[in-house]
Amino acid sequence: MDLPSFPRGLLAMVLAGGLSLSGLAGAAETIKIGVAGPMTGGYAAFGEQFWRGTSQAAEDINANGGINGKQIELVKGDDACEPKQATAVANRLLDQDKVAAVVGHFCSSSTIPASEVYADAGILVITPGSTNPKVTERGLPTVFRMCGRDDQQGPLAADFIVKKLKAKKIAVVHDKDTYGQGIADAMRDRLKELKADNRVVLYEGLTRGEKDFNALVTKIKASGADTVYFGGLYNEAGPLLRQLREQGLKVNFLSGDGSLDPAIVTAAGGPQFVVGAYMTSVREARNIPASQKVVKKMKDAGFDPAGFTLYAYASLQSIAEAMKATKSTDGEKLADWLKNHTVTTVLGPKNWDAKGDLKERGFSIYVWDADGNYKEIAQK
Amino acid sequence: MDWYILAQQLVNGLTLGSIYGLIAIGYTMVYGIVGMINFAHGDVYMVSAYLTAICLAVLFSFGIDSLPFALLATLAITMLITAAYGWTIERVAYRPLRGAPRLAPLISAIGMSLVLQNGVQLSQGAKTQGVPSLIPATLRFGEGHDFVQITLVQLMIIVVSLSSMAALTWLIQRTSLGRQCRATQQDRRMAAILGINTDRIISTVFVIGAAMAAIAGVLVTLNYGSFDFYIGFVTGIKAFTAAVLGGIGSLPGAMLGGLILGLAEALFSGVVNTDYKDVFAFSLLVLVLIFRPTGLLGKPEVEKV
């Protein structure tokens, strides 16, 4: 052995030794669960919520003895909300990390292709945030969600626009993504049922990642719309709202759960731009009595569990409960159990129908006030 | 279409185009002098947006309530620190690869871009950050519902980018530094033989490019109010397109390319459809490159013997 190659050989041996050791430890004592979402890229804030929520859940479950004596070990998967990367991540989680179940993904456009991979392998997957109907409409038995569907929240917005706001001219804007366009289409379909689709004066898609929507705003102004519906996430909803107000448009603004996040106030540049905007969403998880203990614990640790954090927490909880009850990690068995039992989660009791959708259908409408907070509007 | 809608779209397009132009200057100068595409430039612009917010917050927390002073101080500090970023990037990622094949610095640039993006994400968090709306002043022409408006910040963007471009053109054409830049561009080895410190000239170009990105960062942050660690990507691609459209290597070309791109996006979005505005903008680029492969104002490359 010549001298220069010696350290390299040593290094390789150390590495290999370390790997096999950790491999052994993993097989013996832990259950690996994948957490997949946009950990980097423009939507990394949601990925962080997933990771924080599941990490807290894993910590709490492990402190209480883990799953049948085994500790949970989380494995991070980063899809950056890119469908192609999502399937690559799904394959890596299965082949390389050998996860037993997955919490994820976030963007519906990522969840849909990735869940095919999990379903083929018979692995249970619960998405805390993908609301596109297709996620559970493909007959994949091991795919669940911890949130509602866009064909529930889109129509709710449409009813509100027609019956409460009595809009005459409606501009529909979406972000050309599965979630954003899906919810905008669900809203428009409901307008058709209400025989109000002739009031749609504009239907266009903006580009995710951009900040300048002035040209679109001017076009909305030219269309004479009195109400704007936006299907998309807060990163784009914020600047869009601001530019609408800056160009002097006093239109009603509605959006979905992807925009209902305190970060929209920052994204818009101040509460004066967001005030009066309506948004449909699931129940605010931080106000549910069952979640108070976890909320306090996370806030004390310096993280406000906003948005999907507690949904991610509840997703991991449900997986753990199913594994405890069935004493198995087999996706089909876990799925069967979840479809026939009620799980007590940090969001309260949850149960699922045969498709993997939640049985409760609780969406409500929120409105932003001048201080940058939102509150629920009483329905009916 | 009503006149005021069309005029408003022109204002929208000019603002957007000026921003593209300002950032395109960085791409075009670096390409002109070292023949490489600095893919990290968009992320340098992103860093300057963060610096703007940090500077403003620090200045206001010291109780400085004169807005013009705070803005000028922010501009100066941001330009200084961003320029230091530009210098460091060149020193760390590109200079060691000076003699390497052309692809090597390109990969290094993409790597630098990822380092900046993820570095900022880790240190500043993934959430969208913002500054409150500081200059709400707006000029309006017209009455009632029929008006054209341009905000003071938009006006600043247009004026500052045109004058920056003019100042830089003067710098390159008329000063001793500019002469050294052009000499380095034409033949680096010959310039070095004649006593020009080409490494220093290349560093200077990176510093100037980064400073321009800093101006864009400050103005854009004031205009849109929000940013995240990812804004450099989309804007960088657009600015790069603007540089190629105008003729990469040419300063007025960068500005012209930026304005054409911005106007094309705004007008297509306003008259036809927002969904396909990027398709239109890039089709325009393809068309221009078919008839003028070196861009609108680019000089045809002379084969060096």
pLDDT digits (tens, 9 = 90+) for B260-304: 999 999 999 998 989 999 999 899 999 999 999 889 998 776 555
Residue A159 burial by CB count (10 A; 0-12/13-18/19+): exposed, middle or buried? Answer: middle
Chain B residues touching residue A204 (CB < 8 angstroms): 273-275
Structural domains counted in chain B: 1
pLDDT at A42: 79
Length of chain A as a residue count: 380
What's the CA gap between A66 and A89, in Å, rounded? 26
Chain A residues touching residue B15 (CB < 8 angstroms): 212, 214
DSSP-derived secondary structure for B262-274 = HHHHHHHHHHT-S
B247 within domain boundaries: yes
The answer, yes or no, to whether the previous bond of A105 is cis (omega within 30 of 0) is yes
Q: How many CA atoms lie within 13 A of B137 on its CB side?
A: 6
B83 within domain boundaries: yes
pLDDT at A23: 41
Can you name the CATH fold of A5-147+288-350?
Answer: Rossmann fold (3.40.50)
Check residue B90 and report its DSSP letter.
Answer: I
Q: Do A176 and B275 touch (CB under 8 A)?
A: yes
SS3 A372: coil
Q: How confident is the model at residue B146 (pLDDT cuts 50, 70, 90)?
A: confident
pLDDT at B299: 78
Express as a percent the part of chain B with pLDDT over 90: 72
pLDDT at B144: 77
Q: Do A247 and B8 touch (CB under 8 A)?
A: yes
Chain A residues touching residue B125 (CB < 8 angstroms): 45, 48
CA distance B275 to chain A (A): 5
B302 within domain boundaries: no
CA distance B82 to chain A (A): 22
Strands A278-282 and A252-255: parallel
**Nearest residue, CB atoms, B234 vs list A209, A214, A219:** A209
B22 within domain boundaries: yes
Reference A155, options A197, A207, A117; nearest CA is A197
What's the CA gap between B232 and A18, in Å, rounded? 39
Q: Do A238 and B226 touch (CB under 8 A)?
A: yes
DSSP-derived secondary structure for A4-66 = THHHHHHHHHHHHHHHHHHHHHHHHHEEEEEEEE-SSSTTHHHHHHHHHHHHHHHHHHHHTTT
Which residue from B minimizes the CA distance to A266?
Answer: B130
What's the CA gap between A155 and A8, in Å, rounded? 63
Q: What range does the domain containing B79 cover?
A: 3-117+137-161+198-291
Interface list for chain A against chain B, based on CB atoms closer than 8 Å? 40-42, 44-45, 47-48, 176, 204-207, 209-212, 214-216, 218-219, 221-222, 234-235, 238-239, 242, 246-248, 263, 266-270, 272-273
Q: What is the average pLDDT across B34-60? A: 93
pLDDT at B305: 52
CB atoms under 10 Å from CB of B141, counted, come to 11
B90 within domain boundaries: yes
Which residue from A minimizes the CA distance to B148?
Answer: A247
Say if A5-147+288-350 and A150-256 have the same CATH topology.
yes
Chain B residues touching residue A302 (CB < 8 angstroms): none
Specify which residues A203 forms β-bridges with: A172
Q: Do B226 and A206 touch (CB under 8 A)?
A: no
Reference B195, options B185, B206, B184; nearest CA is B184
Tokens of A156: 């709710």
Specify which residues A67 forms β-bridges with: A70
CA angle B22, A176, A166 (to 5 degrees): 110
Q: Which of B71-75, B126-130, B232-236 has the lowest mean pLDDT?
A: B126-130
What's the CA gap between B120 and B105, in Å, rounded? 22
What's the CA gap between A153 and A364, in Å, rounded? 8
Length of chain B as a residue count: 305
Encoded amino acid at A12, one letter: A
pLDDT tens figures, B68-99: 999 999 999 999 999 999 999 999 999 999 88
Domain residue spans of chain A: 5-147+288-350, 150-256
CB atoms under 10 Å from CB of B137, counted, come to 8
pLDDT at B301: 64
On whether the CB atoms of residues A98 and A23 are closer than 8 A, the answer is no
CA angle B129, B130, B131 (to 5 degrees): 150
Tokens of B28: 């075009």
pLDDT at B1: 67
**Nearest residue, CB atoms, B269 vs list A47, A48, A215:** A215
Q: Do B230 and A42 touch (CB under 8 A)?
A: yes
A234-246 and A214-223 are packed helices; what angle lies between their axes, rounded to 10 degrees? 60
B249 within domain boundaries: yes
**Which CATH class, in words, describes the domain spanning A150-256?**
alpha beta
The torsion angles phi and psi of A348, rounded to 5 degrees, stand at 95, -175
Encoded amino acid at A161, one letter: I
pLDDT at A26: 42
Q: Which of B139-143, B150-154, B194-198, B254-258 has the lowest mean pLDDT?
A: B139-143
What's the CA gap between A44 and B229, in Å, rounded? 10
Q: Do A263 and B128 touch (CB under 8 A)?
A: yes
Which residue from A minimizes the CA distance to B127?
Answer: A45
CA angle A68, A71, A76 (to 5 degrees): 130
pTM of the prediction? Answer: 0.83
What's the CA gap between B143 and B190, in Å, rounded? 63
DSSP-derived secondary structure for B207-249 = HHHHHHHHHHHHHHHHHH-EE-TTHHHHHHHHHHHHHHHH-TT
Q: pLDDT of chain A along its 380 residues, tens only?
A: 344 444 444 444 444 444 444 444 444 579 999 999 999 887 888 999 999 999 999 999 999 999 999 999 999 999 999 999 999 999 999 999 999 999 989 999 999 999 999 999 999 999 999 989 999 999 999 999 998 888 888 999 999 999 999 999 999 999 999 899 999 999 999 999 999 999 999 999 999 888 999 999 999 999 999 999 999 999 999 999 999 999 999 999 999 988 988 889 999 988 999 999 999 987 778 888 889 999 999 999 999 998 899 999 999 999 999 999 999 999 999 999 999 999 999 998 999 999 999 987 668 899 999 999 988 886 54
Q: Do A239 and B274 touch (CB under 8 A)?
A: no
Tokens of B290: 């078919």
How many interchain CB pairs under 8 A, A with B?
Answer: 120
